[in-house]
Amino acid sequence: MARPERRTVRDLRKGNRAVLLRALYFVGPTSRHELTALTGLSAATVSNVTGDLLADNVIVEAGLVDSDGGRPRVLLRVNPVYGYAIGVDVGETHVRVELFDLDMNEKAKAEYALRPGGHEVELVVRHILAGIEAVLADSGVAPGQVLGVGVGVPGIVESGPDALIHAQTFGWDSVPLGALLREGTSLPLYVDNGAKTMGQAELWFGAGRGSRNAVIALIGSGVGASIITDGVTYRGANSSAGEWGHTKIALGGRTCRCGGRGCLEAYIGAEAILERAGLPLDTATEQAQLAELVRSGSPVIDETVEYLGAGLANLINLFNPERIVVGGWAGLTLGHHLLTKIKKAAAENCLTQPFSTASIVLGRLGPDAVALGAATLVIEEFLLSNTAAPAREAAAL
Ligand SMILES: [Zn+2]
């Protein structure tokens, strides 16, 4: 039988450090007094650990706030320039690389167009590495100040040192993207599915903020979902959970890009909508084409709303989320004009009780937040492990 793990003093300090850093990151400027109430840690622990964090420059003082009759209290916050995070969006039509400070202010950006069907692995790797060089040069940030590079890609990402990617729509079958990138950069790498990274961005900074159980439903050319259960992204056994676009909505229905039939994506994915309307496919004009279909009240759009409503109802019946955030460029185009109809269609296909406790809202970060989302992978690791800690703690013990 496995022995219960013994928590050492160092584990405990590291755990307290992560709890306080997380609170400061998500709540913003906070006094030590408030931190005690927020985290349940003792005043002495808050004082010791914030002292360590200040000494390491991970957090900084951020002014004073009045306390009731007593001495003004010092506000603390995460130091926005303690380090930087790079986020990469590998999309259907572009590779976009952005560099952020810890407040997620964009400091530099590089973008490379991909032609339709032009997703050769070597080309994408070359663009990502060139983008990292470019944002470092433009921002003047030294590589040593970068906490890591997060990469959001389409398809299924197997967690592991190689970050194996299975993206059928890109023609990528077991592509070891992590290993390929490591040949060109020594920065820490975090690779995940783009829908999951954007889901995390909406959860942390956008329409999902404050919810513990949410689904972020993303509709662009592809259709995917990020499922958040108790504040954490649900991944499943091999990280493929959330392939909402390939759940079946019509038995033996339209052929999907995955090769299957009757998938939700084959009805509500942007290209599928245009195809069903008999329009030619052109990535340069598809956003305008979809907007025009919505504006003109096309029957294809009415039908799309029905399929989307059924798809959302399936999510609500399966996961009982308190909130569904609809995002992605096509999702936002549909949602901005048709949210009431989409909700009605969802209600008609959903069990009454879970529907009544779920709200359906639109994403707030816009359609281009994949790179920001990818950068949250770096921040997540920073909040968990916070690199400056171990050496100091080892010295202190
Ligand atoms: Zn499919």
pLDDT digits (tens, 9 = 90+) for 20-33: 999 999 999 999 99
CA of 206 to the centre of ligand 1 (A): 28
Q: What's the confidence (pLDDT) of residue 5?
A: 54
What Rg value do the Cα atoms of the chain yield, rounded?
23
Q: What's the confidence (pLDDT) of residue 396?
A: 30
Which residues lie at CB < 5 A from ion ligand 1? 246, 256, 258, 260, 263
Q: What's the confidence (pLDDT) of residue 249?
A: 97
DSSP annotation of 78? E
CA of 263 to the centre of ligand 1 (A): 5
**pTM for this one?**
0.85
Whether the CB-CB separation of 82 and 21 falls below 8 Å is answered with: no
For residues 169 and 116, give the distance between their C-alpha atoms in angstroms, rounded to a whole number.
Answer: 11
Could you tell me the fold of the domain covering 208-364? Nucleotidyltransferase; domain 5 (3.30.420)
* Domains 84-197+370-396 and 208-364 in one fold: yes
Helix (H, G, I), strand (E, B) or coil at 338: helix
CA of 254 to the centre of ligand 1 (A): 9
User: CATH number of 84-197+370-396: 3.30.420.40, 2.40.50.140, 3.40.50.970, 3.40.190.10?
Assistant: 3.30.420.40
Position 252, amino acid: G
Nearest residue to 233 via CA among 194, 195, 196, 205: 196
List of the chain residues with pLDDT < 50: 1-2, 387-397
For residues 104 and 83, give the distance between their C-alpha atoms in angstroms, rounded to a whole number.
Answer: 11
CA of 167 to the centre of ligand 1 (A): 12
For residues 352 and 45, give the distance between their C-alpha atoms in angstroms, rounded to a whole number.
Answer: 47
Which single residue is written with the structure tokens 């967690």?
Answer: 159
Q: What's the confidence (pLDDT) of residue 395?
A: 30
Q: What's the confidence (pLDDT) of residue 281?
A: 85
CA of 174 to the centre of ligand 1 (A): 18
In CATH, 9-78 is 1.10.10.10: yes
> Between β-strands 214-219 and 189-193, what pairing exists: parallel, antiparallel or unpaired?
unpaired
For residues 370 and 298, give the distance between their C-alpha atoms in angstroms, rounded to a whole number.
Answer: 30
CA of 294 to the centre of ligand 1 (A): 24
Enumerate the domain spans of the chain: 9-78, 84-197+370-396, 208-364
Nearest residue to 184 via CA among 212, 149, 139, 155: 149
Q: What's the confidence (pLDDT) of residue 367?
A: 80
For residues 79 and 83, give the distance between their C-alpha atoms in angstroms, rounded to a whole number.
Answer: 8
Q: What's the confidence (pLDDT) of residue 6?
A: 60
Which ranges in 296-328 belong to alpha helices (H)? 299-319
